[in-house]
Amino acid sequence: MEENRENDEPEEPSHDSEDGSSMPQEEELQEQGGGRVEEDGSGSPRVSKSAKKKLMKLQRYEAKKAHRKAIAKQNKQEHMERKRQEWADKLAALPEDERSSLVQAKLDTRKERMAERHQEREHTREKLRNAMQRGQNIVVDLEFCELMNPNEINSLVQQIMYCYAANRKSASPAHLWLTGCKGEIMSRMQKVPGFPNWLVEKEERSYIEALHERKQDLVYLTADSEDVLQELEASKIYVVGGLVDRNRWKGITMQKAQEQGIQTAKLPIADHLSMTSSQVLTVNQVFEILITFLEVKDWRKSLLQVIPQRKRPEIDSNDLHLTNERKKMSSGNENGEVSPCDSNVGSNCNEKREEVTVET
Ligand SMILES: C[S@@+](CC[C@H](N)C(=O)[O-])C[C@H]1O[C@@H](n2cnc3c(N)ncnc32)[C@H](O)[C@@H]1O
């Protein structure tokens, strides 16, 4: 996978909570009521029992994680060493002429594979370049960074990675914009391997500034809108709020759009599915629903493909194949790698996932 990172492939750390962290971080402990650090009157901090408990839990978790990582690394090294040894033994058992033709065949296969991958990557990049000329405009509005804690910003970065991965994989990719991409969020994005090569609009300015000539075409997508999205119009520019907030900032994008005097719309979730929980989805889920719709032109199919099954209890047998299809995709490729390109993984960004890489 090393060679891929030189290109535009982000790598994804694993996480299992909505804000991207598996466990509460120290700064979070203080934000949460249960983990208060108080003064004891003499000026020295008195840590509450529950804060101590949480801290110990965090430490145990970190230790386990480090241990698991070390074991995985060791297993990988052992596996590589075994393979290397098997190959050396195989060669050693052969007469000289057979040995060199076997080595040559292996080199040729590797070259062919690399050429194929290069071609695939070029094809994908060509598709994305075309999308930047003619694709449906979709903006991720990155102007909410001050409202998020570091973990939430991390999670947002991951969700953007999933958006990009899904876009690369799509047969009808969108023209993806990252607006307000500066400061903290930009420096985080710049740490994503391959980000400099991403074929997206990296725009420092806000969408309202960068796209001011097309203000009448802007449609802010927000679960709080009264208008339901019926179609995706090529002439419109759909804006998704780049926010991970567990809906702490309820209504914020609706308010922003109203203040700016731009149109709003919500996804037609209620028309097609019954949900067990809120209809507020993550950034990448919304993005994936949109690009799936561009491909299949069917809201129900698009919603079913992206919204995790646990959020929608009622499912009839006609729909099961869609869900199963996504399960298959997320089980990984023939190398056992799971990619955020596999949209199930991407869309269930809030759920526990494996360490994944994005194929070019
Ligand atoms: C995690 S939500 C942020 C929720 C935030 N409190 C708000 O007011 O938008 C991320 C973004 O996804 C989009 N979104 C989420 N659910 C949606 C829905 N049901 N319909 C339309 N857009 C949605 C919105 O653009 C939203 O800002």
Q: What is the pLDDT of residue 275?
A: 82
The DSSP element (H or E) to which 293 belongs, if any, is: helix 283-296
Evaluate whether residue 193 is within a structural domain. yes
Evaluate whether residue 112 is within a structural domain. no
**Ranges of H-type helices in 19-149:** 26-31, 49-92, 96-134
Q: How far is the CA of 219 from the centre of ligand 1 (A)?
A: 13
To test the pocket of ligand 1, the residue of 179, 219, 222 to mutate (highest count of ligand atoms within 8 Å of its CB) is 222
Atom of ligand 1 nearest to the CA of 220: 25
Residues flanking ligand 1, CB < 6 Å: 221-223, 240-241, 243-245, 247, 249-253, 266-267, 269, 279-283, 286
Evaluate whether residue 324 is within a structural domain. yes
Evaluate whether residue 16 is within a structural domain. no
Q: What is the pLDDT of residue 319?
A: 57
Atom of ligand 1 nearest to the CA of 279: 19
Q: Whose CA is nearest to atom 9 of ligand 1?
A: 253
Atom of ligand 1 nearest to the CA of 248: 6
Provide the number of structural domains found in the chain: 1
pLDDT exceeds cutoff 60 at 283: yes
Per-residue pLDDT tens over the stretch 140-190: 999 999 999 999 999 999 999 999 999 999 999 999 999 999 999 999 999
Percent of residues, the chain, with pLDDT higher than 70: 74
Evaluate whether residue 125 is within a structural domain. no
Evaluate whether residue 227 is within a structural domain. yes
Residue 292 and residue 306: Cα distance in Å, rounded? 9
Evaluate whether residue 58 is within a structural domain. no
pLDDT exceeds cutoff 60 at 5: no
Evaluate whether residue 90 is within a structural domain. no
Of 202 and 339, more confident: 202
Q: How far is the CA of 35 from the centre of ligand 1 (A)?
A: 29
Read off the pLDDT of each residue in 246-262 and give the average, rounded to a whole number. Answer: 96
Edge-to-edge strand ranges of the sheet holding 218-221: 201-203, 175-179, 137-141, 237-241, 218-221, 263-265
pLDDT exceeds cutoff 50 at 350: no
Nearest to 84, CA basis, from 106, 51, 66, 111: 106
Residue 238 and residue 246: Cα distance in Å, rounded? 22
Asked if residue 276 lies in contact with residue 231, where contact means CB atoms within 8 angstroms, the answer is no
Q: What is the pLDDT of residue 165?
A: 98
Nearest to 159, CA basis, from 239, 241, 238, 237: 241
Q: What is the pLDDT of residue 233?
A: 98
pLDDT exceeds cutoff 60 at 282: yes
Of 206 and 349, more confident: 206
Q: How far is the CA of 258 from the centre of ligand 1 (A)?
A: 15
Q: What is the pLDDT of residue 208?
A: 98
Q: How far is the CA of 281 from the centre of ligand 1 (A)?
A: 6
Q: Whose CA is nearest to atom 17 of ligand 1?
A: 223
pLDDT exceeds cutoff 60 at 346: no
Q: How far is the CA of 145 from the centre of ligand 1 (A)?
A: 15
Instruction: Please give the residue range of the domain that contains residue 192.
Output: 135-357
To test the pocket of ligand 1, the residue of 156, 286, 299, 307 to mutate (highest count of ligand atoms within 8 Å of its CB) is 286
Q: How far is the CA of 183 from the centre of ligand 1 (A)?
A: 23
Q: What is the pLDDT of residue 101?
A: 94
Asked if residue 270 lies in contact with residue 333, where contact means CB atoms within 8 angstroms, the answer is no
Percent of residues, the chain, with pLDDT higher than 90: 67
CATH of the domain at 323: 3.40.1280.30
